[in-house]
A and B are shown apart, each in its own frame.
Chain A
Amino acid sequence: MTVAPAPAAAGGAGTQSPRRRRRPGSLTWPAASLALPFAILFALFFLAPIVYAVIQSFLASRSGGLGLGPPTIGFAGLDNYVQVVTDPDFGAGVARIGLFAIVNIPITIGLALFFALVMDVSSIPFRGLFRVLYFLPYAIPGVVGGILWAFLFSPSLSPYVQLLHAIGAGTVDFLSPHVVLFAIANIVIWNFAGYNMLILTASLNALPPEQFEAARIDGCGRLREALLIKIPQLAPAIVMTVLFAIIGTLQLFNEPLILSLISKSVTTTYTPNLMAYAEAFSNNNAYLASAISVLLAVITAICSAVFLGLTRRRSAS
């Protein structure tokens, strides 16, 4: 990305001409330099790593002839990608992410929508307070929230295990193979439901109020108002929150990383991002790690394209 200050030279010619009163909008060097720090940093720490990862993903290290001599680095075509896509662990990780998304996203967005609609009813007491409390977990960093929940899940410390035991539900193991994915989903829901609620609340507040008065005069109750008037108009915002939830799910890392420390069920290839991390650091295969990162970015880009397409259609209509 470059900020090209092209028309500046043309505008600067002939100081005595009427051009002296600068047209608003044409870029001059001092103004362009204001955008320079952002442009340089963006190029160095956003574009460059992406380009570098793409290049790396097409390379591979091969050992010298007969396993002797230093390994050489050469062009590997799509080998890394083929290796990743055909790796059963990667497939399992993607399937896990898919299951996670199916469980997690409807619950998160459903709860957020429910909260936003209920708190939109003006006669509900303390709704401002509820809103703040529900949003609060978003302020706690993912890792810290993850460690907190890891304590709450750990058999020796968990007050929930104590509680369930006390009411006669037996000893529940939140970290067992079939439960731990839901334990992770719980952390994510706890972290993000309130945030999504606020996005939907903001869209609700932006709806024109006259239609609600008209509906009420026609005898429309609050429930029908929510189902028939509000939810359809919130659809674009809901689509947006769902897409961001998908993007967030694709890069799931912090929570499984933390639970992998206390649960044998969470392996180093539990999610694609964990797998990339393991490839880069445990297996020292930067090329394969790059291929995984690029694949993830491509999948994310596809989701973003869908998102952009939807918003464009929305603004066109």
Chain B
Amino acid sequence: MTALRAAPPRSRRRAADSVGVPWRVLFVIVLVAFACYFLIPVWWLLVASTKSTGALFSSAGFWFDGFDLGANLRALFAYQDGIFWQWILNTLGYAGLGAALAALFSAAAGYVFAKYRFRARGIAFAVVLGGVMVPANILAIPLYLLFSQVHATNTFWSVFLPGLVSPFGMYLCRIYCEAGVPDELLEAARIDGAGEYRVFFSIVLRLMSPALITVFLFQLVGIWNNVLLPLVMLSDQRTFPVTLGLYNMYASSSSIGAPKDIIALTITGVFVSVVPLVIAFLALQRYWRGGVAVGGVRG
């Protein structure tokens, strides 16, 4: 009796501090089920990319049957005289270089908006903020119409240049700069005779590097996700990013009477484009979280 009477405060504390064991088991089962939902497509992709065309259509989808990943990769990189390499290179240009420059430009503009007062600053910022809300897909067709006016479609630039603007990045950089770059430091540097460029490139940029990485990542995904823009702009295969190349491969594989080999090639191509992303994503995940926490704005 006494033991029971002594028990309640402790057990109530424990119960309140955590979830009961049955609930915990239930939650873990549900979480594992959803983990399967999110991961099974990736698992299937891994398995499918190791199969020959024959095995792909004759074996069970979720398990291995032979191991032809090497042959599939060779076939993929030999496809149309190695055009896949060209697509990878283009993607590095569009998304990698584009996102890096977009982050730099965003940081510079965000710094000016954060640390200087000028006429029309409020309106200008509101316009940019409005830009955050405009989805890239809606801009693609107007951009195409504009570029075709100056006969600049079907060029590297037609996809690269629009990717250099990140209103979201500018917004994020402004917030970050207001909070993370102390005015005293800037003032001290100026008194020491540093010019504006020097202040920005050697002090501000360094202090803003976490924001820069976050903007870079978001813009990278933004450019890399936007297939409508290259789809409308580009017709020459040699200018394609990987995504559009894969879309074209998929389109030809799904047309009637297409050789079945191209399906295996497409699957291998999808696999090759997913693997580095997953690795990069896992390696950089803390920056993702930072970006989501600070910005929380991005459809």
Q: Chain A: residues with CB nearer than 8 A to chain B?
A: 1-7, 22, 24-28, 30-32, 34-35, 37-39, 41-42, 44-50, 52-53, 56, 111, 115, 118-119, 121-125, 127, 130, 132-145, 147-152, 154, 156-160, 162-163, 190, 194-195, 198-199, 202-203, 205-206, 216-217, 219-222, 237, 240, 244-245, 247-248, 250-251, 253-254, 257-258, 261-262, 273, 276-277, 280-281, 286, 289-290, 293, 296-297, 300-301, 304, 307
Contact = CB atoms under 8 A, between A and B. Distances in A.
A277 B228 contact: yes
Contacts of A222: 16, 18-19, 23
A143 B247 contact: yes
Interface string B148-168: 010000000000011011010
Contacts of A290: 141-142, 145
B228 A237 contact: no
A140 B41 CA distance: 11
Contacts of A139: 221, 277-278, 280-281
Contacts of B145: 49, 52-53, 56, 280, 286, 289-290
Contacts of A39: 109
- Looking at B119, B128, B281, B296, the one whose CB has the most chain A CB atoms below 10 A away is B296
Nearest to B36: A133
Interface string B241-256: 0011011001100110
Contacts of A194: 38
Chain B contact residues, majority secondary structure: helix
Given A123-B24, A143-B246, A149-B41, A42 B118 contact: no
26 contacts: A3-B118, A5-B118, A24-B183, A30-B196, A30-B197, A34-B108, A35-B112, A38-B109, A46-B134, A49-B143, A52-B146, A53-B141, A56-B145, A135-B288, A136-B278, A140-B274, A142-B225, A143-B244, A143-B246, A147-B266, A190-B37, A202-B289, A219-B16, A248-B135, A277-B232, A307-B133
Contacts of A237: 296
A26 B116 contact: yes
Contacts of B234: none
A47 to B, nearest CB: 8
B117 A50 contact: no
A4 B120 contact: yes
A296 B117 contact: no
Contacts of B162: 45
Given A37-B108, A124-B19, A143-B225, 4 more contacts: A3-B112, A38-B170, A144-B273, A297-B138
B108 A253 contact: no
A42 B39 contact: no
A35 B61 contact: no
A141 B57 contact: no
A52 B12 CA distance: 66
A290 to B, nearest CB: 7
A35 B267 CA distance: 43
A157 B56 contact: yes
Contacts of B288: 135, 198
Contacts of A4: 118-120
B257 interface: no
- Looking at A38, A133, A157, the one whose CB has the most chain B CB atoms below 10 A away is A38
Given A133-B38, A141-B224, A148 B142 contact: no
Nearest to A202: B293
B161 A45 contact: yes
B141 A300 contact: no
A286 B225 CA distance: 24
B94 to A, nearest CB: 12
A2 B120 contact: yes
B56 A123 contact: no
A5 B285 CA distance: 39
A205 B290 CA distance: 12
A199 B289 CA distance: 8
Contact of B112 (A31, A45, A49, A300): A31
B200 to A, nearest CB: 6
Contacts of B251: 261
Interface stretch (B42-50, B66-74, B80-88, B206-214): B42-50
- Looking at A3, A22, A121, A190, the one whose CB has the most chain B CB atoms below 10 A away is A3
A280 B144 contact: yes
Given A1-B128, A30-B197, A56-B145, A143 B227 contact: yes
Interface in B85-133: 105-106, 108-109, 111-113, 115-120, 124, 127-128, 130-131, 133
Contact of A159 (B23, B61, B149, B197): B61
A31 B196 contact: yes
Contacts of B27: 118, 121, 124
B247 A258 contact: yes
Given A143-B227, A273-B137, A162 B60 contact: yes
Nearest to A311: B297
Nearest to A134: B38
Nearest to B147: A49
B143 A262 contact: no
